[in-house]
């Protein structure tokens, strides 16, 4: 059903062409709030990736049952229970990270990138393709979170990989300390906007140089509020 090229197209779409954070600008509230360190970005990225993949899978598996008038409650049910499970698992397996991410873990429910994929893709496509789509969109979002986290931690605190023990166990670590202290603005809220703007600008510049045709192919352009 899902051919090699299909998978590649979907991965390219999620990771780059219509990256949820860089192009669709969906879910940027958690994206801006938690990316003060690489480990925070990675943690929320993994959580979002899981929710997105499984919600796409479940929505696609139940797509023949979905009637137009009850589809939104169904998406909400599926996504909310998945997020609750992920939150519980985080508090069980990565308690330190769970405490740091705090409210942004349950708030994955409100990440419109997830409902958008359910509505636009998973409800109309077979399970396999939907899983690939959820994974690629989630990975695109997670990679952006990591990139912003790494950038802001590097500039703002002069370190990298600090507190990685929260995700991988072991003794509390300060990570790779390159400079003592950093440019504080980067880890303050304005730094988040600046870093995201730089990332978007960098992507556009790269696209222009490569002359990637920027056509909104079928089903990729989305009009979702928020």
Which residues, listed in sequence order, are joined to residue 222 by a DSSP beta bridge? none
Residue of 76, 110, 104, 109 lying closest to 90 (CA atoms): 104
Q: Which residues bind another protein (CB under 8 A)?
A: 62, 64-65, 67-70, 73-74, 77-78, 80-82, 84-85, 88-89, 91-93, 95, 99
* Calpha distance 105→35 (Å, rounded): 13
In whole angstroms, the minimum distance from the beta carbon of 149 to another protein comes to 23
Distances (CA, A) of 179 to 73, 116, 158, 183: 50, 41, 5, 10
Nearest CB to another protein, comparing residues 82 and 108? 82
Return the number of the residue (47 or 78) whose C-beta is nearest another protein: 78
What length is written for the chain? 226
**Least separation in angstroms between CB 40 and another protein:** 18
- Closest separation between CB of residue 162 and another protein, Å? 15
Residue 144: closest CA among 7, 10, 49, 5: 49
Q: Shortest Cβ distance from residue 78 to another protein (Å)?
A: 7
* Residue 91 or 193 having the CB closest to another protein: 91
Question: Which residue, 170 or 225, is less far from another protein as judged by CB?
Answer: 170
Can you spell out the DSSP letters for 4-19? HHHHHHHHHIIIIIT-
Angle, alpha carbons 93-96-97 (nearest 5°): 80
Comparing CB distances to another protein, the nearer of 68 and 170 is 68
Give me the least distance between CB of 67 and another protein, in Å please.
5
């Amino acid at each position: 059903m899902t051919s090699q090229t299909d998978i590649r197209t979907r991965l390219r779409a999620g990771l780059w062409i219509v990256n949820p954070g860089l192009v669709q600008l969906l879910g940027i509230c958690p994206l801006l709030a938690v990316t003060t360190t690489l480990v925070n970005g990675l943690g929320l990225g993994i959580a979002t990736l899981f929710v997105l993949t499984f919600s796409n899978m479940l929505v696609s598996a139940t797509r023949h049952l979905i009637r137009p008038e009850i589809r939104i409650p169904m998406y909400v049910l599926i996504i909310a229970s998945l997020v609750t499970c992920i939150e519980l698992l985080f508090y069980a397996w990565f308690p330190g990270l769970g405490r740091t991410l705090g409210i942004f873990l349950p708030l994955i429910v409100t990440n419109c990138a997830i409902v958008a994929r359910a509505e636009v893709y998973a409800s109309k496509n077979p399970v396999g393709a939907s899983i690939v789509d959820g994974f690629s969109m989630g990975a695109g979002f997670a990679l952006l979170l990591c990139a912003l986290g790494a950038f802001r931690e590097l500039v703002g605190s002069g370190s990298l990989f600090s507190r990685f023990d929260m995700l991988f166990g072991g003794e509390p670590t300060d990570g790779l300390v390159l400079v003592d202290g950093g440019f504080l603005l980067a880890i303050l809220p304005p730094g988040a906007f600046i870093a995201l703007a730089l990332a978007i600008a960098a992507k556009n510049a790269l696209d222009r140089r490569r002359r990637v045709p920027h056509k909104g192919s079928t089903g990729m352009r989305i009009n979702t509020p928020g």
